[in-house]
């Protein structure tokens, strides 16, 4: 059969979002790929030039809808860099809890979508069920299930609600047990192993040169994590380490990328439990919204010539905001807001990873990199 270009997408049940992957196949083997993004380009960067700093937080949640908290916090740290705001420690702990809970929820969504990619339909329901528990917790914190608009410039919107610590501990401990069920379903299944091992090799140095970071990079055998390398927030005060995966000789395959995320879920869960113990003034004290313990006074204008940038460890890699001060409203709005999306850079790399494998490996490889098109297209 001659070589032909197949277009997977934009309407396709399993591309994890709205984009097109044009694949050139020779029989069943992939010879070339070409990703085509931009279907949900909403112009967030342009919109941000006409919004207050507080208003932009709402947009940032919607960048990657599966992992909303990590994006709004990524933005907030950049704003605090721009405005030079000192954040109270309790607020940092609350932010850490929110971010790590969101990371668990994001990885659960990934796992729930990755199972059906490989063919296992049950695990989608199982993972979404655990995700419900996390979303309940995040709803208590932020007010809604998906787009919380949680951080504020200088702190957080509100404190941990009454009884949150007890419920969070119960749910996270239950979740830690349930992870073992997922592992049983995947690791003990020969079919899963033959589908994901030896498929989609990626080496660490190549990944770094291509701009891939986060769990995809740590699956390659290096323990680089933005939270430890360019420290921010209170990660230095918790006892944790980023999980690292031992890849195969030819590089990290899909199995490694799957395993690293399962380990990351564990690490995040343990971090949440520890943060609840170590939070200053205790997890059961409640401060009213606007209390200086959780929200510091912040200037609302950034003079021209200033800029703020922050690298942040998002669920999918290293995300970054760059804000140039001095925009409209005499500095109340950023002159330019620039967003770095890890998936925007990883998807072309993942498309290159697919070359040489079979068409049936495409969902396995693409799914293992955890694409989220919301942040890709902004």
Partner 1 sequence: MMATGDWLDLRGWVEGLVGWSMDNVHDALPSKDLDLTVTISPPKGIWPEDILLGREVNLQDGFADMQPALEGLFSATMICTVVFTTMMLTMLPIPYIERKFIGRLMDRLGATTTLRSLWIGESGVTAGEWWNQLPFGMGAPIGWLNKTLNSIWGNDHELEAVSRVNNRGYHGYWFLLPGFFQAFADFTKFAGKEHIVPKDADRPVYEVAPVIIISTTVLVFAFVPFGPHFYVSSPELSVVFMMAIFGVAPLGVFFAGWSSNNKYTLIGGMRSAAQLTAYEIPLLITVLGVCVISGSFNVIEIVDFQAEESNVWNLFMLPLGAALFLITMIAEVERIPFDMPEAEAELVEGWWTEYGGMRWGLMFAAEYQRCYAACLLFALFFLGGWEAPFQGTMESLPLVGGGLEFLLALIPGIVWVLIKAWALFAVFVWIRASLHRVRTDQILEFGWQWLLPLSIVNLAIAMFLRVWVWDGSWGIVAPVVMILTGVLGLVILVVDEDKEALESMRRPYSTYAVTKAYPGRHPDTKLEDLQRQYKSYSAVKAASSVSLSDTEAGT
Partner 2 sequence: MGKVVSASNQKSAAESMASALSSMEGVDAEVSERKSGTSPRNIVSVDCSSENWRILAECMRVEHDVDYCSMITGIHWPEGSPDKNWEVIYHFMRMGVTDPPVIDGMVQPIIKDPTTLEGKEVPLEIEVRIAIPETRDPKVASVQDIWVGADWNEKETWDLVGIDFEGHVGMRRVLQPHETPVGFHPLQKQHKLRYHDFEEMYDDAQGFLRKPSDAGKIK
SS3 state at 160: coil
Binder of residue 160, out of partner 2, partner 1, none (CB less than 5 to 8 A by kind): none
The answer to whether 355 contacts partner 1 (rule: CB under 8 A) is no
Integer Cα distance of 159 and 321 in angstroms: 25
* Sheet containing 336-340: order of strands: 307-314, 317-324, 336-340
Distances in Å between the Cα of 94 and the Cα atoms of 46, 87, 208, 234, 293 are 30, 11, 31, 10, 11
367, 370, 372, 373 alpha-carbon torsion, rounded to 10°: -50
Binder of residue 171, out of partner 1, partner 2, none (CB less than 5 to 8 A by kind): partner 1
Nearer to partner 2, 73 or 171 (CB): 73
Among 3, 46, 290, 329, binds partner 2 (CB under 8 A): 46
The answer to whether 13 contacts partner 1 (rule: CB under 8 A) is yes
CB of 89 to partner 2, least distance (A): 7
Among 159, 314, 361, 370, binds partner 1 (CB under 8 A): 361
CB of 160 to partner 2, least distance (A): 18
Distances in Å between the Cα of 176 and the Cα atoms of 104, 239, 258 are 11, 17, 17
Instruction: Tokens for 104, please give them.
Output: 């668990």
- With CB under 8 A as the rule, give the number of residues binding partner 2: 74
The answer to whether 242 contacts partner 1 (rule: CB under 8 A) is no
CB of 133 to partner 2, least distance (A): 25
Binder of residue 286, out of partner 2, partner 1, none (CB less than 5 to 8 A by kind): none
CB of 97 to partner 1, least distance (A): 16
Q: Which of residues 72-131 bind partner 1 (CB under 8 A)?
A: 115-122, 124-126, 129
The answer to whether 240 contacts partner 2 (rule: CB under 8 A) is yes
Name the segment binding partner 2 (CB under 8 A); options: 23-31, 134-142, 236-244, 356-364. 236-244
CB of 145 to partner 2, least distance (A): 26
Q: Which of residues 15-44 bind partner 2 (CB under 8 A)?
A: 37-38, 41, 43
Residue 249 has a CB neighbour count (10 Å cut-off) of: 5
Q: Which of residues 181-210 bind partner 2 (CB under 8 A)?
A: 203-205, 207-210
The answer to whether 222 contacts partner 2 (rule: CB under 8 A) is yes
Nearer to partner 2, 145 or 224 (CB): 224
Instruction: Tokens for 349, please give them.
Output: 């790399």
Q: Which of residues 256-285 bind partner 1 (CB under 8 A)?
A: 256, 259, 263, 266-267, 270, 273
Axis-axis angle for helices 122-142, 164-187 (nearest 10): 160
Cis before 10? omega within 30: yes
229: which residues sit within 8 A by CB, 6+ positions away? none
Per residue in 313-335, is it b (16+ CB within 10 Å) or e — as a string?
bbbbbbbbbbbbbbbeeebbbbb
Per the DSSP assignment, residues forming a β-bridge with 26 are 3, 29
- Asked if 23 and 354 count as a contact pair (C-beta separation under 8 A), the reply is yes
Integer Cα distance of 352 and 203 in angstroms: 12
Nearer to partner 2, 3 or 84 (CB): 84
Q: Which of residues 310-349 bind partner 2 (CB under 8 A)?
A: 310-311, 318, 320, 322, 324, 335-336, 338, 340, 344-345, 348-349
Nearer to partner 1, 76 or 105 (CB): 105
Nearer to partner 2, 126 or 255 (CB): 255
- Asked if 351 and 339 count as a contact pair (C-beta separation under 8 A), the reply is no
Among 34, 181, 205, 304, binds partner 1 (CB under 8 A): 181
Distances in Å between the Cα of 100 and the Cα atoms of 199, 271, 313 are 29, 7, 10
Integer Cα distance of 60 and 72 in angstroms: 5
- Asked if 325 and 331 count as a contact pair (C-beta separation under 8 A), the reply is yes
Give contact residues for partner 1 (rule: CB under 8 A).
4, 6, 8, 12-14, 25, 28, 115-122, 124-126, 129, 132-133, 136, 167, 170-171, 173-174, 176-178, 180-181, 183-185, 187-195, 197, 239, 241, 243-249, 255-256, 259, 263, 266-267, 270, 273, 358-363
């Amino acid at each position: 059969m001659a070589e032909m270009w197949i277009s997977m997408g934009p309407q396709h049940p399993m591309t994890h979002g709205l984009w097109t992957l044009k694949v050139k196949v020779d029989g069943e083997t992939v010879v070339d790929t070409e990703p085509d993004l931009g279907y949900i380009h909403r112009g967030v960067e342009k919109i941000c030039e006409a919004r207050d700093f507080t208003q932009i937080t709402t947009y940032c949640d919607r960048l990657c809808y599966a992992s909303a908290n990590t994006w709004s916090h990524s933005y907030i740290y950049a704003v605090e860099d721009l405005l030079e705001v000192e954040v109270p420690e309790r607020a940092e702990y609350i932010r850490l809890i929110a971010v790590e809970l969101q990371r668990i929820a994001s990885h659960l969504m990934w796992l729930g979508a990755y199972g059906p990619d490989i063919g296992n339909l049950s695990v989608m329901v199982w993972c979404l069920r655990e995700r419900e528990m996390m979303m309940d917790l995040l709803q208590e914190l932020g007010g809604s299930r998906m787009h919380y608009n949680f951080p504020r410039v200088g702190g957080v919107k509100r404190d941990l609600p009454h009884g949150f610590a007890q419920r969070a501990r119960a749910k996270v401990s239950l979740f830690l047990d349930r992870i073992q069920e997922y592992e049983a379903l995947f690791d003990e299944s020969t079919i899963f192993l033959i589908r994901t091992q030896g498929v989609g090799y990626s080496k660490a140095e190549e990944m770094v040169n291509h701009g891939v970071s986060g769990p995809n990079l740590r699956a390659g055998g290096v323990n680089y994590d933005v939270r430890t390398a360019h420290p921010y927030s209170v990660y230095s005060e918790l006892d944790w380490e980023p999980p690292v995966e031992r890849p195969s000789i030819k590089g990290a395959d899909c199995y490694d990328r799957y395993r690293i995320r399962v380990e990351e879920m564990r690490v995040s869960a343990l971090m949440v439990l520890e943060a609840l113990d170590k939070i200053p003034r205790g997890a059961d004290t409640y401060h009213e919204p606007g209390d200086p313990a959780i929200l510091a006074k912040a200037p609302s204008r950034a003079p021209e010539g200033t800029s703020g940038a922050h690298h942040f460890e998002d669920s999918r890699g290293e995300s970054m905001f760059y804000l140039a001060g001095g925009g409209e409203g005499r500095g109340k709005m950023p002159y330019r807001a620039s967003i770095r999306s890890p998936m925007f850079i990883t998807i072309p790399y993942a498309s290159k990873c697919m070359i040489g494998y079979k068409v049936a490996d495409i969902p396995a490889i693409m799914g293992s990199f955890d694409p989220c098109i919301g942040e890709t297209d902004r």
